[in-house]
Structure 1
Amino acid sequence: MLKKVLYIVLICLFPFAAISQTPVTLHECRKEALTNNTKVRTSLLQVQRAAAAKKEATTAYFPAIDGNANAIFIPDLEELRQFGIDKDNLQLYQAQLSAQQPIYAGGKIRLANQMAGKGVQMAEKASEKQQADIILETDEAYWQLFSMQEQQKVVTRFTEALDSLEEQLRASYDLGIVPKSELLKVTVRKNEAEMTALEVNNAVRLLQMNLAHIIGRPVDEELLVTTNPDANQKNNLLPDASEISGGIISRPEISILENQVQIKNLEKKVTRADYLPQLGAQVSYGYLEAPGIASGSWNLNAVAQLSVPIFHWQEKKHKMQQAEINEQMAILELGNTRELISLEISQSRLKLEEGQKKIQLANKSKEEASETLSEVEISYNAGLNTITDLLNARVAHQRSEASLVKACTDYEVLKTKWLKAIGQLNAGQQIQDDDEKF
């Protein structure tokens, strides 16, 4: 009676264990990662900060208006009597409203606005790059989890097959048909499979936590990936080598470095502007009163100031040399990055071709392993093969299934890396493509 109750309890528990896992598609994981991931949110805040800096630079075109007021009291000021003022202390009240306007600053205000605009473009491209990085990171985590969950199924099927084989051999051993050594071979293999199953289960849990962290979900949530890799590789055309040049142009890193070169050029112009004449004007309207000395009155003042650099011991020359060197270094970095990206695109293309070939070979190996296992099982049942042959055939079949799953998931990651390499892994395009698929 107790065994029956335990059996019913276990049957009831298993469905709930399966339901506790949350199914997620690749499309959902990408969208959640782009929405919730801390790195992406930080990059978007950096874009907002750059936009605020650009607005701040624009304010330099307008006059700065300031107001101030002072009240001064100086007791026991005997010096006032020297000027014929019969007072022992001095009281002074002042209020002023002033407006300052740069008239000519050597073009520094205009150049500062241009640099701020470049800063916004760089922040936007940096955010685009970060989003592409997160999509790739999400895809890698997703397909790693898919691969391990499939490994989990393969190990489970292998363990169940060993359980069945062990039961058959135990019955044969009890009848004295097979020696105990044959039974022990299966038992040892079964213990190894159970150990492998434990390791795979732990790996699945760790990968679930990793994916949950990337997409912004609680790390204790057990995720079940449901998107299958594209098994029909014939429809996946290999990329054209001519896409390399277009890919270089599309990469956000190139746009960032191009803007850096332009900023260095603008900084050089700002350095030159520091040594040009500076002209500004100020208009103020204020109130001044000194009780007992002068009655209060309002006054309007206008001031123009011209500053002309004359001699700074060749300071301008040295600063200009530094600015020119900085610009040359930025140009060299841009050229080097172009070469590295071209190399990355070529490597991604070769890896993609290699991934397709691995899938083809894995499919062929699985077919051969399945055929071998079928023949060995028939031969074993006919007494022509040993239990070792049968176990080896089952292990080979298990490995072929695992290899095929890994080849397919690796290919999905390689496709994502290829799209990132040619600058086509932007968030909007990928989400749109995913919507069309789903």
Structure 2
Amino acid sequence: MKGIVWLLLLSGAVPSSAATHVLSLDSCRAMALRNNKQLAVSELQRDVATNMRKSARTKYLPHVSAVGSYMYNSRELSILNDRQKGALSGIGTTATSGLAGSLQGFGEGLTDAQKAALDEALKVFGTTTDQALGNIGAQVTGLASALNAEGQKVVDAFRTDTRNIFAGSVMVTQPIFMGGSIVAMNKMARLGEQMAANGIDAKRQQTLFDVDNAYWTIVSLKNKKRLAESYLKLVGRLDSDVQKMIREGVATRSEGLSVKVRLNEAEMSLTQVNDGLVLARMLLCQICGLPLDTDIALADEDSCSLPTADATVYGSHSDAVNNRPELQMLQNAVDISKQATNLLKAGNLPQVALIGGYSFSNPNVFNGFQNKFGGVWSVGVLVRVPIWNWGDVAYKVRAAKGATAMANLELAEAREGVELQVSQSSFKLSEAGKKLTMAKASAEQAEENLRSANLGFREGVIQSTTVMEAQTAWLKAQSQKIDAEIEVKLSQVNLKKALGTLDD
């Protein structure tokens, strides 16, 4: 038994998922700003602009780049042709062929007496003429081989072996003067970031404007629902009284039918108000990022009379010009256009940059032709001076100045429009305040007329048609009073948006 009691207590303590959510205007604003997708898009656009600004800042800094390559060639480059290669490879044979022939002819041309004399002379060296000639021939042959080997070395030294080529470099570039283009790019990037931030403010104020309109529309419809319910009760009570009078014979059926028609109209009005209230709640849920079927109630919807003590909104035209994000965005567009003109002007100015780096390759020719990696450091100054471009830059600068002039005209027109909007909103707020005063007076008078008509009807001195007329006048006066109260609120919202102070 105790377990069942505890289970019931716990089930009662758990909040229902279908519980009504009571929302104030501030909470609706907070949810809308948190869940608005267009506002999230604007935030991402600001992040993009911030990264672009950071990217533009890097143009002031030195940039380092590395390049590497490999190439395979089907044939290698040859400095010597085939005939030169053959001549160098056989240089020893060519040089000693005549000497070998001369020695052979010398030996065959000796007479026996000459040969005997030479043999006698060579006995001192322990050799004969044939042996001496043989030794000389062998030495000549050895010299030919040595010269041929040296010639082959020369041929090998001239071989390039460029079938496999590796190359690479690391370069450092430091801008010195780019004609003002880097400065203009950075200013444009900063202005772009400011424009993105102003875009967020514009989306934020538009979101708050939509929330306030939806919020006070629901409050207005809820008040009109109570008014329609009260009117339905009045007509229903009159219908009941008339039916009793018909049964007693003091009223006609025509009067009863007229009251029935008015009762049906009151029921239809209540149905229309209920439908409008459901749709208005769905709209507010959509703006706030809530499911459309969320059961919500507003903190101000049960107020019988809306507070209007803060009906005065302070501000001037100059405040609107300084606060409106739309005007600030147009001013950003003008400034960006001016910097774009400066960027184009840089095309006619010289550009100076400091460059340096290290290059390497395999094969390399820094110490003859070698099949290994070798490199060299280098540093220098790069200067680019435009000489003639057929007026291309001048035409672009003129076009950019024209775009700047158009942006200035759009800004001036927007300022005039904002000033007019502020004046219209101020007049509308003042007019709404006067309407509210008159509507309250009319509502009090209609309330008194309805009381008098009901009293006269119960006493039998006033007909039902007069009561219905008093009820209609009371309904109209109360409806006008609700409309006037909501118009004051919406006029305040419009004026704050026109002044750019809707966040306050």
- Aligned 1:20-419 pairs, distance under 5 A: 20-75=19-74, 77=75, 80=78, 90-227=163-300, 231=306, 233=308, 236-237=311-312, 239=314, 243-290=316-363, 294-419=371-496
Provide Cα deviations, 1:196-241, integer angstroms capped at 9, x if missing partner: 222111111111111111111111113222226874546634657x
SS in 2 for 1:288: strand
Greater CA deviation, 115-124 or 349-358?
115-124
Unaligned runs of 5+ in 2: 1-14, 82-154
What amino acid is aligned across from residue 182 of structure 2 in structure 1? I
What amino acid is aligned across from residue 285 of structure 1 in structure 2? Y
Matched length: 408
Please say if residues 132 and 420 of structure 1, whose CA atoms lie closer than 8 Å, have aligned partners that are also in contact. yes
Identity, in percent, stands at: 26
SS in 2 for 1:294: coil
Please say if residues 90 and 290 of structure 1, whose CA atoms lie closer than 8 Å, have aligned partners that are also in contact. no
What amino acid is aligned across from residue 320 of structure 2 in structure 1? G
Q: Which of these two proteins has the greater Rg computed from alpha carbons? A: 2
Cα distance in 2 for partners of 1:139, 1:163 equals: 36
Q: 1:69 to 1:178 in 2, by over 3 A?
A: same
Q: Aligned-pair distance for 1:152?
A: 1.1
Cα distance in 2 for partners of 1:132, 1:101 equals: 45
SS in 2 for 1:295: coil
Provide Cα deviations, 1:415-437, integer angstroms capped at 9, x if missing partner: 111112122223xxx3xxxxxxx
Greater CA deviation, 229-238 or 96-105?
229-238
Q: Aligned-pair distance for 1:87?
A: 8.1
Cα distance in 2 for partners of 1:79, 1:100 equals: 34
SS in 2 for 1:158: helix
Please say if residues 351 and 414 of structure 1, whose CA atoms lie closer than 8 Å, have aligned partners that are also in contact. yes
Please say if residues 143 and 410 of structure 1, whose CA atoms lie closer than 8 Å, have aligned partners that are also in contact. no
Q: Aligned-pair distance for 1:276?
A: 0.5
Greater CA deviation, 301-310 or 212-221?
301-310
Greater CA deviation, 310-319 or 138-147?
310-319
Please say if residues 242 and 464 of structure 2, whose CA atoms lie closer than 8 Å, have aligned partners that are also in contact. no
1:420 aligned to 2:497?
A: yes
What amino acid is aligned across from residue 253 of structure 2 in structure 1? K
User: TM-score, normalised on structure 2?
Assistant: 0.75
Greater CA deviation, 156-165 or 371-380?
156-165
Q: 1:67 to 1:256 in 2, by over 3 A?
A: same
Unaligned runs of 5+ in 1: 1-15, 431-438
What amino acid is aligned across from residue 352 of structure 2 in structure 1? L
User: TM-score, normalised on structure 1?
Assistant: 0.86
Q: Aligned-pair distance for 1:88?
A: 8.2
What amino acid is aligned across from residue 392 of structure 2 in structure 1? E
Q: 1:386 to 1:343 in 2, by over 3 A?
A: same
Cα distance in 2 for partners of 1:233, 1:94 equals: 81
Provide Cα deviations, 1:264-287, integer angstroms capped at 9, x if missing partner: 222221111111111223322233
Provide Cα deviations, 1:65-121, integer angstroms capped at 9, x if missing partner: 22232222223x165476776688701122332222222101111111111111111
Greater CA deviation, 186-195 or 54-63?
186-195
Cα distance in 2 for partners of 1:236, 1:78 equals: 92
Cα distance in 1 for partners of 2:201, 2:57 equals: 25
Greater CA deviation, 199-208 or 156-165?
156-165
SS in 2 for 1:199: helix
Q: 1:260 to 1:176 in 2, by over 3 A?
A: same
Q: Aligned-pair distance for 1:247?
A: 2.5
Greater CA deviation, 39-48 or 285-294?
285-294
Q: 1:89 to 1:118 in 2, by over 3 A?
A: closer
Provide Cα deviations, 1:160-184, integer angstroms capped at 9, x if missing partner: 2223332333333334443322222
